[in-house]
């Protein structure tokens, strides 16, 4: 099935929903012109001319990128445009460029070969990382490299389309996304990429539907093929039948009506019909996202993944560097709170000095690392405290499995406070401290842990992984990654009740918090806070505003009485269909 021009049969390709929206139109297959690089020897006499060619190409690349940057700033706002500033910074990296020039002069090889080789080394390092975010950034590095090489070879950039099209490509660089958006783009579909790719973030800002991770769409589609893209369901359909188009049309209308209804919801409180307030906040990785979260109606940041700043770093950032970042985040969320989770390194996430482990998810991860590395932990704790002067900062410890770990972490927090006090540095001495419940042992001991802290936040991503003994990133066992497994839902109930017995609030910050299927159940359990990815926030708020606590409690009781995940999912789906018909449904077309 991997050949294009397959006739008129309808084919449904499933990928990952990256930017919402539905569109139909002809395909435009964008095969990136990856410049061919040949290794050519030069003579010592050629060195100056070769370096000049490199410098001219570099200057032209910068000029191109500045154009894209200006365009992106106008279209997306300055925060989203920072990606292009980062690319311009690579071009201006004196060490990298110095090393390229040095190699041209000493190895006597042509400029494009050295550029490709040197930047490739950098890229390989990023790809070797187990971190998905690093893989995405490697594509940005690729983009810069191809741009310089294309300019060394004096080739023109090509980004004009004939008419309105759905772009199908192996991968899209952020610059492609923006440049293409000058044409009439109906959607983006890519073989590679995840929802965290910058191209995905940009398509969301540009309001262009996008589906990524389609694996081999480019092999099955030719320019001109008739396509339909559903950026809600993460589906791309080749040769959609009239029936499918009808379904999609109906879905598009329903979503439009839904979006219009949701547009006004940002300013409304996340209160149930009987006026119980649920604190609805956001999971955020980068300072730039806080503003978007606020526009979506977020009440602050329920999970700031501080370890994201370690990406691409050979060492942990200094206390001052961290303090500046945390202050910026706290400032943009103010007056709402921000929960800074201390570095959750290890597992599938990067640590600057991480070691190879046979079982990283059962290994040196999260608080375990920090309790072994007091110097790094104290730097971070002082940095967070320094950002807390306006009293909207909270601290949370990840990957806790024992009460002792909590006590040790709190002890170090007190030490960080004493050190700041001794230097006359201001901070919030009554800062609230919480623990993530994501290890079964911690869930069992939730009440004893609750006695030590001001709040608990349940990390369902890891909790499900550890309860089910299923690697959260392993496709082969994905069907056992069951957030609605009876063991999981009962554990959630146990944790919520434990927190309430100790009179502290409890939230959920794993992906389950942002799943519309879970909202009534979680509210029914008595969860006080939900921290979700910003795009789904209005939808979750709408559900909260459409239920009563007493009905939600009945939902939770029923869920906790069932014996299989299939039963629980079926029950929750039937509740959604009956009670809140405007909630978007999964795509219902046929699949091959
Ligand atoms: C979780 O485990 O649910 C969580 C929110 O943390 P992370 O996904 O960063 O591990
Ligand atoms: Mg986790």
- Residues 376-399: tens digit of each pLDDT: 999 999 999 999 999 999 999 999
Q: Closest Cα to atom 4, ligand 1: which residue?
A: 459
* β pairing state of 11-14 and 235-238: antiparallel
The total domain count for the chain is: 4
Give the closest residue to 483 by CA, choosing from 510, 456, 520, 523: 510
Has residue 260 been placed in a domain? Answer: no
Query: Ligand 1 centroid to 510 CA: how many Å?
Result: 5
Tell me: do 516 and 412 sit in the same domain. Answer: no
Does 524 contact ligand 1 (Cβ within 6 A)?
no
Please report the beta strands in 157-258, taking only residues with DSSP state E, as ranges in sequence order: 165-169, 185-190, 210-212, 226-230, 235-238
CA distances in angstroms from 502 to 393, 402, 408, 505, 525, listed in the order given = 22, 17, 20, 9, 16
| pLDDT at residue 546 in the model | 93
Domain boundary among 437, 461, 494: 437
pLDDT value at residue 6: 55
In a domain, 565, yes or no: yes
Index of the ligand 1 atom closest to the CA of residue 457: 5
Centre of ligand 1 from the C-alpha of residue 546, in Å: 28
Domain assignment of residue 461, yes or no: yes
Q: Is the pLDDT of residue 276 over 60?
A: yes
Ligand 1 mean position, distance from CA 460 (Å):
7
Does residue 261 surpass a pLDDT of 90? no
Whether the CB of 196 sits within 6 Å of ligand 1 = no
Q: Strand pairing partners for 279?
A: 529
Residues 147 and 165 in one domain: no
Task: State whether the beta carbon of 235 lies less than 6 angstroms from ligand 1.
Answer: no
pLDDT tens-digit profile of 438-461?
999 999 999 999 999 999 999 999
**Residue 39 in domain:** no
Q: Is the pLDDT of residue 580 over 70?
A: no
Nearest atom in ligand 1 to 461's CA: 3
CB 347 near ligand 1, within 6 Å:
no
- How many whole angstroms separate alpha carbon 160 and alpha carbon 248? 28
Give the residue numbers marked as catalytic.
Answer: 198, 509
Q: Is the same domain home to 205 and 317?
A: no
Residue 586 in any domain: the answer is no
How far apart CA 127 and CA 141 sit, in angstroms, is 11
Determine whether the shortest distance from the Cβ of 462 to ligand 1 is under 6 A.
yes
Residue with tokens 């090489």: 149
Region 293-316: mean pLDDT is 86
Q: What is the pLDDT of residue 563?
A: 98
Ligand closest to Cα of 132 equals 1
The answer, yes or no, to whether any atom of ligand 1 lies below 6 A from the CB of 438, is: yes
Query: What's the confidence (pLDDT) of residue 24?
Result: 94
Average confidence (pLDDT) over 157-161: 56
pLDDT tens digit string along 504-554? 999 999 989 988 999 999 999 999 999 998 878 998 999 999 999 999 999
Ligand 1 centroid to Cα of residue 434, in Å, is 14
| 492 and 567 in a common domain | yes
Within 8 A by CB and 6+ apart from 245, the residues are: 24, 228
CATH number at residue 53: 1.10.274.10
Atom of ligand 1 at shortest range from CA of 462? 2
Ligand 1 contacts CB of residue 510 (under 6 A):
yes
244 ligand 1 Cβ < 6 A: no
Structure tokens of 107?
Answer: 């190895």
Cα-to-centroid distance, 234 and ligand 2 (Å):
25
Is any atom of ligand 1 closer than 6 Å to the C-beta of 339? Answer: no
Residues 335 and 459 occupy one common structural domain: no
Q: Residue 569 is encoded by which pair of tokens?
A: 């999912």
CA gap 189, 225 in Å, rounded: 13
Asked whether the beta carbons of 177 and 202 are under 8 A apart, the reply is yes
Rounded Cα distance, 5 and 225, in Å: 8
Ligand 1 atom 9 nearest Cα: 305
For residue 461 and ligand 1, the question of a CB distance below 6 A is answered with: yes
**What is the DSSP track for 78-120?**
TTTTHHHHHHHHHHT-HHHHHHHHHHHHHH-B-HHHHHHHHHH
Of 281, 282, 459, 513, which is best to mutate to test ligand 1, by the most ligand atoms within 8 angstroms of its C-beta?
A: 459
Q: Is residue 181 within 6 Å of ligand 1 at its C-beta?
A: no
Q: Which atom of ligand 1 is nearest to the CA of 465?
A: 2
Residue 32 pLDDT grade (very low, low, confident, very high; cuts 50, 70, 90): low
Calpha distance 2→56 (Å, rounded): 42
CATH of the domain at 533: 3.20.20.60
Centre of ligand 2 from the C-alpha of residue 175, in Å = 32
% of the chain surpassing 70 pLDDT: 88
Is the CB of 509 inside a 6 Å radius of any atom of ligand 1?
A: yes
Cα 168 from Cα 462, distance rounded (Å): 34
Asked if residues 171 and 190 have their Cβ atoms less than 8 Å apart, the reply is yes
My answer on whether 317 and 393 are in the same domain is yes
**Co-location of 148 and 169 in the same domain:** no
Q: Do 175 and 232 fall within a single domain?
A: yes
Distance between CA atoms of residues 112 and 104, nearest Å: 10
Supply 98's token pair: 């110095």
- CA gap 448, 461 in Å, rounded: 22
Beta bridge partners of 283: 303
Structure tokens at 109: 């090889």
Domain boundary among 414, 437, 460: 437
Interval between CA 140 and ligand 1 midpoint (Å): 26
Query: What stretches of 214-259 adopt beta strand conformation (E)?
Result: 226-230, 235-238
431 located within any domain: yes
Q: What is the CA radius of gyration of the chain?
A: 25
* 429 and 304 belong to one structural domain: yes
CA distance linking residue 529 with residue 1, whole number of Å? 47
Under DSSP, is residue 451 helix (H, G, I), strand (E, B) or coil? coil
Quickly count: other Cβ atoms within 10 Å of residue 450's Cβ. Answer: 25
Q: Put residue 207 in one of left, alpha, beta given phi > 0 → left and psi -120 to 50 → alpha.
A: left
SS (H, E, C) 327-378: HHHHHHHCCCCEEEECCCCECCECCCCCCCCCCHHHCCCCHHHHHHCHHHHH
Spatial CA neighbour of 575 closest among 498, 522, 530: 522
| Least confident interval from 166-175, 227-236, 330-339 | 166-175
Looking at ligand 1, which residue's alpha carbon is closest to its atom 8?
A: 461
Tokens representing residue 489 in the block:
């839902």
Higher-confidence residue of 395 and 175: namely 395
226 & 83 share domain: no
Compare 490 and 134 and report the one with higher pLDDT: 490
Would you tell me the crossing angle of helices 47-76 and 132-152 to the nearest 10 degrees?
120
Q: Judge if the beta carbon of residue 307 lies within 6 A of ligand 1.
A: no
Q: For residue 189, tell me if it sits in a domain.
A: yes
Coil, strand or helix at 535: helix
**458 CA closest ligand 1 atom index:** 3
Mean pLDDT, rounded, of the chain: 87
The reply to whether 78 and 17 lie within a common domain is no
- The pLDDT of residue 426: 97
Atom of ligand 1 nearest to the CA of 307: 9
Q: Please identify, by atom number, the ligand 1 atom nearest to the C-alpha of residue 303.
A: 5
Ligand 1 close to Cβ of residue 342 (< 6 A): no
- Residue 393: per-residue pLDDT: 98
Closest by Cα among 426, 438, 359 to 397: 438
Of 281, 349, 360, 436, which is best to mutate to test ligand 1, by the most ligand atoms within 8 angstroms of its C-beta? 436
Q: How far apart are the first and last CA of the chain?
A: 10
CA-to-CA dists, residue 85 to 54, 136, 200, 288, angstroms: 20, 16, 18, 14
Cα separation, 83 vs 71, in Å, equals 13
- Statement: residue 14 has pLDDT above 70: yes
Residue 123 has pLDDT above 90, yes or no: no
Residue 105: is it exposed, middle or buried by C-beta count within 10 angstroms (0-12/13-18/19+)?
A: middle
CB 29 within 8 A of CB 169: yes
> And the tokens for 526?
């008595």
pLDDT band at 139 (very low <50, low <70, confident <90, very high): confident
Atom of ligand 1 nearest to the CA of 510: 3
Confidence band for 557, pLDDT divided at 50, 70 and 90: very high
Q: Are 299 and 279 in contact (CB under 8 A)?
A: yes
Burial class (CB in 10 A: 0-12, 13-18, 19+), 89: exposed
Q: How far is the CA of 390 from the centre of ligand 2 (A)?
A: 28
Which ligand has the minimum distance to the alpha carbon of residue 510?
Answer: 1
For ion ligand 2, residues whose CB falls within 5 Å: 438, 459, 462
pLDDT at 338 over 90: yes
Q: How far is CA 560 from CA 324, 522, 557, in A?
A: 45, 11, 5
Within 491-588, strands assigned E span: 505-508, 529-532
What's the 188 CA to ligand 2 centre distance in angstroms? Answer: 31
Residue 102: which domain range? 44-152
pLDDT for residue 221: 94
Q: State how far the Cα of 425 lies from the Cα of 429, in Å rounded to an integer.
A: 11
Q: What is the pLDDT confidence band of residue 576, given thresholds at 50, 70 and 90? A: confident
At residue 243, what are phi and psi to the nearest 5 degrees?
Answer: -65, -45
**Res. 299: pLDDT tops 70:** yes
The pLDDT value recorded for residue 278 is: 98
The pLDDT score that the predictor gives to residue 586 is 40
Question: Which pLDDT score, from 0 to 100, does residue 519 have?
Answer: 97
Provide mean pLDDT across the span 210-237.
Answer: 90
Domain containing residue 181: CATH number: 3.50.30.10
**Does residue 447 belong to any structural domain of this protein?**
no
Question: Which ligand is closest in space to the CA of residue 512?
Answer: 1
DSSP lists the bridge partners of residue 530 as: 280, 508
For residue 585, what are the contacts with CB-CB under 8 A and spacing of at least 6? 251, 577
Q: Assign residue 586 a region: left if phi > 0, alpha if psi is -120 to 50, beta otherwise?
A: beta
Res 191 pLDDT > 90: no
Residues 286, 430: one domain? yes
What mean pLDDT is predicted for residues 101-111? 93
Share of the chain above pLDDT 90, in %: 54
Question: Which residue, by CA, sits nearest to atom 3 of ligand 1?
Answer: 459
- pLDDT (tens digit per residue) in 56-78: 999 988 988 888 788 777 766 66
- pTM for this predicted structure: 0.66
154 or 523: which leads in pLDDT: 523
Q: How far is the CA of 285 from the centre of ligand 1 (A)?
A: 12
């Amino acid at each position: 099935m991997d050949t294009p021009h397959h006739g008129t049969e309808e084919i449904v390709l499933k990928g990952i929903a990256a930017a919402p929206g539905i569109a139909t139109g002809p395909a435009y297959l964008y095969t990136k012109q990856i410049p061919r690089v040949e290794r050519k020897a030069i003579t010592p006499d050629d060195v100056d001319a070769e370096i000049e060619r490199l410098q001219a190409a570099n200057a032209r690349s910068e000029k191109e990128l500045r154009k894209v940057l200006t365009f992106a700033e106008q279209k997306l706002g300055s925060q989203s445009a920072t990606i292009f500033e980062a690319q311009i910074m690579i071009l201006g990296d004196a060490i990298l460029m110095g090393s390229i020039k040095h190699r041209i002069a000493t190895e006597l090889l042509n400029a494009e070969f050295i550029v490709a080789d040197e930047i490739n080394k950098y890229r390989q390092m990023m790809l070797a990382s187990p971190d998905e975010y690093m893989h995405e950034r490697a594509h940005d590095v690729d983009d810069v490299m191809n741009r310089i090489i294309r300019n060394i070879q004096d080739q023109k950039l090509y980004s004009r389309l004939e008419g309105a099209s759905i772009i199908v490509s192996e991968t899209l660089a952020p610059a492609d996304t923006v440049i293409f958006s000058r044409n009439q783009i109906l959607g983006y579909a890519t073989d590679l990429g995840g929802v965290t790719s910058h191209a995905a973030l940009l398509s969301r800002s540009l309001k262009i539907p996008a589906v990524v991770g389609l694996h081999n769409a480019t092999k099955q589609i030719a320019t001109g093929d008739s396509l339909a893209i559903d950026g809600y369901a993460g589906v791309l359909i080749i040769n959609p039948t009239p029936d499918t188009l009808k379904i999609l049309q109906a879905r598009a209308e329903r979503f439009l009506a839904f979006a219009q209804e949701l547009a006004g919801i940002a300013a409304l409180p996340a209160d149930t019909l009987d006026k119980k307030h649920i604190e609805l906040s956001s999971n955020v990785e980068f300072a730039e996202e806080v503003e978007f979260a606020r526009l979506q109606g977020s009440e602050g940041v329920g999970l700031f993944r501080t370890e994201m700043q370690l990406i691409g770093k050979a060492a942990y950032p200094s206390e001052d560097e961290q303090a500046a970042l945390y202050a910026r985040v706290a400032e943009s969320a103010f007056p709402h709170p921000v929960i800074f989770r201390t570095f959750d390194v290890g597992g599938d996430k990067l640590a600057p000095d991480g070691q190879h482990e046979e079982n990283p998810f059962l290994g040196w991860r999260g608080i375990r690392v920090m309790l072994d590395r007091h110097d790094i932990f104290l730097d971070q704790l002082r940095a967070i405290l320094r950002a807390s002067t306006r009293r909207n900062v909270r601290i949370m410890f990840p990957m806790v499995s024992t009460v002792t770990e909590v006590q040790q972490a709190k002890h170090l927090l007190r030490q960080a406070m004493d050190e700041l006090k001794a230097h006359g540095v201001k901070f919030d001495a009554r800062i609230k401290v919480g623990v993530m419940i994501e290890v079964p042992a911690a869930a069992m001991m939730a009440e004893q842990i609750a006695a030590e802290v001001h709040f608990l936040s349940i990390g369902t991503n890891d909790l499900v992984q550890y309860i089910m003994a299923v690697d959260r990133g392993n496709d082969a066992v994905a069907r056992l990654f069951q957030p609605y497994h009876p063991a999981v839902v009962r554990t959630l109930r146990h944790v919520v009740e434990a927190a309430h017995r100790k009179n502290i609030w409890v939230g959920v910050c794993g992906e389950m918090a942002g799943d519309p299927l879970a909202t009534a159940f979680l509210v029914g359990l008595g969860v006080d806070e939900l921290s979700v990815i910003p795009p789904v926030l209005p939808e979750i708020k709408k559900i909260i505003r459409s239920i009563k606590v007493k009905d939600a409690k009945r939902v939770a009781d029923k869920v906790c009485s069932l014996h299989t995940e299939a039963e629980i999912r079926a029950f929750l789906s039937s509740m959604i269909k009956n009670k809140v018909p405007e909630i978007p449904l999964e795509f219902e077309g046929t699949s091959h």
